């Protein structure tokens, strides 16, 4: 019996799962492969990096091209481009080509709702944490 379970485990482990671009039904055994600590880390690391977070905050206002993001953040163009590539790869950002320019915006389906939830959390809990000493709570 143990060997049979091991064989089933190996089959599941070796299954090639395509990235989900549309809403589809994921089987529970497939979901376990997607949702692990590493998956969460790969996503949330984008919000822990100062440059990436500055890009996300800049794009919160409106979609921008690389040069405008550089002006908003004050970082070097190469550093911004490097981080834009990473943010786009994990679908935090969406890119639209307009002529030669690439216009970046936040993923409206997932990232914007997350940011709204975080903003509400900060509004509700900032006073408890800082006890009214910060600018936002005053």
Whether 57 and 103 map to the same domain: the answer is yes
Task: Count how many domains the chain has.
Answer: 2
User: Is residue 6 domain-resident?
Assistant: no
In a domain, 12, yes or no: no
90 lies in some domain = yes
Instruction: Please report how the helices 111-130 and 50-61 are oriented relative to each other, as an axis angle in degrees rounded to 10.
Output: 110
pTM above 0.75, yes or no: no
Summarised one tens digit per residue, pLDDT across range 18-44 is: 444 445 555 566 556 667 777 788 888
Cα 93 vs. chain centroid, distance in angstroms?
A: 8
Residue 51 within any structural domain of the chain: yes
pLDDT at residue 57 tops 60: yes
Kindly state whether residue 113 falls inside one of the protein's structural domains. Answer: yes
In whole angstroms, what separates CA 11 from the centre of its chain? 30
98, part of any domain: yes
Residue 90 shares a structural domain with residue 64: yes
pLDDT at position 122: 82
Q: Is residue 24 part of a domain?
A: no
Domain that holds residue 103: 38-107
Q: Examine the domain organization and report whether 42 and 102 are in the same domain.
A: yes
Please report whether residue 71 resides in a domain.
yes
List the 93-98 sheet strands across, edge first.
Answer: 64-65, 101-106, 93-98
Q: Helix 77-89 crosses helix 50-61 at what angle (to 10 degrees)?
A: 80
Does 45 have pLDDT greater than 50? yes
106, 64 Cβ separation under 8 angstroms? no
Question: For the domain that residue 48 is a member of, what is the CATH number?
Answer: 1.10.10.10
């Amino acid at each position: 019996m143990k060997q049979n379970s091991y064989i089933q485990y190996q089959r599941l482990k070796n299954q090639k799962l395509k990235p989900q671009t549309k809403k589809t039904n994921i089987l529970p055994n497939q979901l376990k492969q997607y949702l692990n600590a590493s998956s969460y880390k790969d996503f949330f690391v984008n919000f822990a990096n100062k440059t990436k977070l500055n890009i996300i905050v800049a794009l919160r206002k409106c979609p921008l091209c690389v040069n405008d993001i550089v002006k908003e953040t004050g970082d070097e163009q190469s550093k911004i481009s490097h981080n834009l590539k990473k943010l786009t790869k994990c679908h935090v950002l969406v890119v639209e080509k307009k002529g030669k320019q690439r216009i970046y915006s936040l993923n409206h389906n997932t990232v914007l709702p997350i940011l709204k939830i975080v903003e509400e959390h900060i509004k509700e809990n900032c006073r408890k944490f800082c006890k009214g000493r910060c600018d936002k709570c005053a």
